[in-house]
Structure 1
Amino acid sequence: MPSSQPELSMINPNAAGIDLGADYHWVSVPEGRDSECVRRFGCFTADLYAMADWLKQCDIDTVVMEATGVYWIAVFQILETQGFEVKLVNARQVKTVPGRKSDVLDCQWLRQLHRYGLLAGSFRPDDQICVLRSYIRQRDTLIKSASTHIQRMQKALTQMNVQLHRVISDISGTTGLAIIRAIVSGERDLHKLAALKDRRIHASTDEIAAALNGDYRPELVFVLHQELQLYDVFQTQIAACDAEVEACLNQFADRIEVATNPLPAAKRRGKKQPGNAPRFDLRTHLYRISGVDFTHVDGFGVLTVLTLLSELGLDPSKFPSAKHFASWLGLCPGSRITGGKRKSSQTRQVANRVATALRMAAQTLVRSHSALGAFYRRMQAKLGAPKAITATAHKLARIFYHLWTSGGAFVDPGMETYEQQYQERMVKNLKKKAMALGFDLVAKPALPECVS
């Protein structure tokens, strides 16, 4: 008997598929649009524009391609500027669709799947956000490179038995760099070196002088000098990158007028900014372009918010709900069910900069006197630190999504309120269990206070 199932309807009749490569790209269009339905184009810019012209001649509206290294970026941007709807798909998703014939090229298979709407495009923010994202990623790379030279300076100091890290918390801070610069300049008087300490340093001058008593070998001082110079080079590059970031942020449209709706007072007054924080008023820029002060959420500093907005953008419409957002981040519990039984609820392994930033923010809540801090500590005692970090990052993602979509201000209920609500839920569940077993749960009467 013939099958009664309806055939798949064609959703994208004017679709094309591109198989990307390092040297050339294969492009497939529907049959009948040209004498050759498959063409090969080079990777030079002129070839990419020729590809766009040929796709226009073939009346193509939408194009699909696999994510291959960084080769897709130039093709994606040129085709998008030429007016095509471009979808970037994960190669893993394409491989899970069965039915491919061996004589079909990759570009033809991609076009066929996209023709029937079987491929979902990867998330990519608008072009203005992509520009900001490039600056932020470059800044992060520079900071990581600078940290490498800090570690090498520490190694040289340790080899000379200069125990500077024992008396100050950060050798790249004001006091640490002042002492290191004096050492490479030839100063060996311990008390003169110790006198360079900042007034906020708790260690005394004598303690710092004792820690600086070491074996200043010339070759190790030379290594220390070179690593200090390289560190300064990266600091100069970071400052230049910050200038570009500020200029880029100035080009964003105002979502809220700061003059009529001033920025709320900072939640963490007097707290020292991270050493790698920009030297301009980043918090005001983020509030102006997003309309929300995300830094009022516990665990969210200005650098964390900058990372989130530079990776996600300002338009949350790509994620229909908070559940979709958490699933894309790989922070929600998994759902691996076989035969009606749940085999595993482990979260998916996802390489996502937003999820990493949320996990880093969750780790800072270990000593926070807030509802989020209380939640993290309860999850840590119940499930252990790794799962507590994921659970708290999931909660932070949902809070961020709510503020991202609806605006408004975040109000922390407080650690005491959270503990009280948790206790009330526990009592309610215990009463249900007792009632199901035929018992009544009665609260123990409070003991009278003793009067002395």
Structure 2
Amino acid sequence: MAMRKREEDEVFPNAAGIDVGGSSHWAAVPRAADKEPVREFGAMTDDLNAMADWLLACGVDTVALESTGVYWIPVYEVLEQCGLTVWLVDARQMKYVPGRKSDVLDCQWLQKLMSLGLLRAALRPGDEVCVVRAVVRQRAALLTEQASWVMRMQKSLVQMNIQLAEVLSDIMGASGQAIIRAIVAGERDPHVLASCRHSRVRRSEEDIVRALRGNWREEHLFVLARSLAMYDSLAQRVLECDAKIDALLVPLKRHEIELAGATKRGSPNPLGFNARLALASWAGVDLTRINGISEGVALTILSEVGPDLSRFASVKHFCSWLSLCPGTKISGGKVLSARTRRSANRVRQALKMGAMSLSRSDSALGAFYRRLCSRMDKPRANTAVAHKLARMVYFMLKRGEAFVDQGQQRYEEQQRQRSIAALSRRASALGFRLELATTPA
């Protein structure tokens, strides 16, 4: 009777568990499936194929795979190609379970939890999304490394007392690059270097001349030249990634869409192709119509989750996956903490960067961001606006809704009407009646 009850509790009776390692993998199947329910397999491709054949011979249809570094990726791909349903589970779900001190017991515990339906699968997009995601992440890594070489150039300039950062907001802008390349080419006259500035630079030519008077030491000039060469080399690699992304997005164009409005300007790292049209043709909606969502942010969102959000039951599940929703640390009916979880989610970081760009926007979202900044600190306001952007992205991708900006004046008028209604309710509760003045104050 106890055995029958145990079998009825199993959600996935033919499930297997695999503990992934760098040099070998331990796999466990149900006890009744094989005389040796736990086996060790190597990390070579032949070993992975042998493991897949053994799982199929044991009648396994679902596999729980522990996400360990990047070692799980080849195991996942091989098992998925063999027709098995693979669940990528977080190792932290089994972290605090005592008594498991070896890989053999780990894989058995994975198999048991999976059979009882106590594990949750992590988001693993389709192959077409994974291909684009790999190149987009490589591009982001190149941009991060490129920024480190910009800091090295800044350090060399400061060591020579060339205070270029004091007169230019971006030393790698049009004026900054022109001046630095002239310095590397051998120019030392500050007046000639200052003439390279763009006409839109606010600082006067005299201020730039003063900032360009320094000590031209040979070793610092050598480091500056090498850093600029590395910067240019990485810029070329970024262009190669842009060309590859453009080629990967061509077969993903499933929608015929006409774009309205002009492309947003001012992106710090613009893509080397018409990414707005390519992404809109892939997703069916133009995410860049949302204020704060640039082409780079839209590319990050679609390359991480894809245009299909059916894996998320609701917008609340999507925002929870992004770690943008308030926390629910409650004890005894009292809210102990409502802080959002810390997360390295790339979509979350992209949305927060997009929210920061709204500080000077004349849109309704810009007015909303500035209103929150007046009530709370900027990091919390940034997270709240990123949450709002995530909800807009979800509804656009899920329902195909188009985004329409109401404008700053419409938003401010709505807030004014809400304030008047709140004051009227407050006055009525105190026994007074609120009357609006005929002439504005």
2:342 corresponds in structure 1 to 349
Matching of residue 422 in structure 1 with residue 415 in structure 2: yes
2:280 corresponds in structure 1 to 287
Structure 1's unaligned 5+ residue stretches are none
1:319 corresponds in structure 2 to 312
Q: In terms of mean alpha carbon deviation, does 33-42 or 204-213 score higher?
A: 204-213
The normalised TM-score by structure 2 is 0.92
Counterpart of 2:130, as a letter, is C
The normalised TM-score by structure 1 is 0.90
Q: How many angstroms apart in 2 are the aligned matches of 1:6 and 1:30?
A: 13
Q: How many angstroms apart in 1 are the aligned matches of 2:296 and 2:152?
A: 25
Amino-acid identity (%)? 47
2:434 corresponds in structure 1 to 442
1:149 corresponds in structure 2 to 149
SS class of match (1:70): coil
- 1:370 Cα shift? 1.7
Alignment CA distance shift 1:99-1:198 (3 Å) = closer
Structure 2's unaligned 5+ residue stretches are none
1:31 corresponds in structure 2 to 31
- 1:9 Cα shift? 2.6
SS class of match (1:17): strand
Counterpart of 1:24, as a letter, is S
Q: In terms of mean alpha carbon deviation, does 191-200 or 228-237 score higher?
A: 191-200
Matching of residue 333 in structure 1 with residue 329 in structure 2: no
1:367 corresponds in structure 2 to 360
SS class of match (2:9): coil
Alignment CA distance shift 1:47-1:367 (3 Å) = same
What are the residue-to-residue correspondences of 1:268-283 with 2, within 5 Å? 268=264, 271-274=265-268, 276-283=269-276
How many residues end up aligned between the 2 structures? 437
Counterpart of 2:80, as a letter, is E
1:189 corresponds in structure 2 to 189
Alignment CA distance shift 1:326-1:441 (3 Å) = farther
- 1:113 Cα shift? 0.9
SS class of match (1:105): helix
| Contact persistence 1:296–1:410 (CA under 8 A) | yes
| Contact persistence 1:267–1:296 (CA under 8 A) | no
What are the residue-to-residue correspondences of 1:148-227 with 2, within 5 Å? 148-227=148-227
Q: In terms of mean alpha carbon deviation, does 396-405 or 172-181 score higher?
A: 172-181
Matching of residue 395 in structure 1 with residue 388 in structure 2: yes
- 1:265 Cα shift? 1.5
1:114 corresponds in structure 2 to 114
Alignment CA distance shift 1:432-1:448 (3 Å) = closer
Deviation string, structure 1 residues 255-284 (Cα, Å, up to 9, x no partner):
x21xxx42112264xx3442x212211111
- 1:288 Cα shift? 1.0
1:303 corresponds in structure 2 to 296
Q: In terms of mean alpha carbon deviation, does 348-357 or 39-48 score higher?
A: 348-357
| Contact persistence 2:7–2:13 (CA under 8 A) | no
- 1:376 Cα shift? 1.5
1:60 corresponds in structure 2 to 60
Alignment CA distance shift 1:381-1:207 (3 Å) = closer
| Contact persistence 1:430–1:441 (CA under 8 A) | no
The two structures, once aligned, show a CA RMSD in angstroms of 2.4
Alignment CA distance shift 1:45-1:102 (3 Å) = closer
| Contact persistence 1:370–1:413 (CA under 8 A) | yes
- 1:107 Cα shift? 0.7
Alignment CA distance shift 1:178-1:55 (3 Å) = same
Q: How many angstroms apart in 2 are the aligned matches of 1:382 and 1:192?
A: 49
- 1:166 Cα shift? 3.1
- 1:311 Cα shift? 0.8
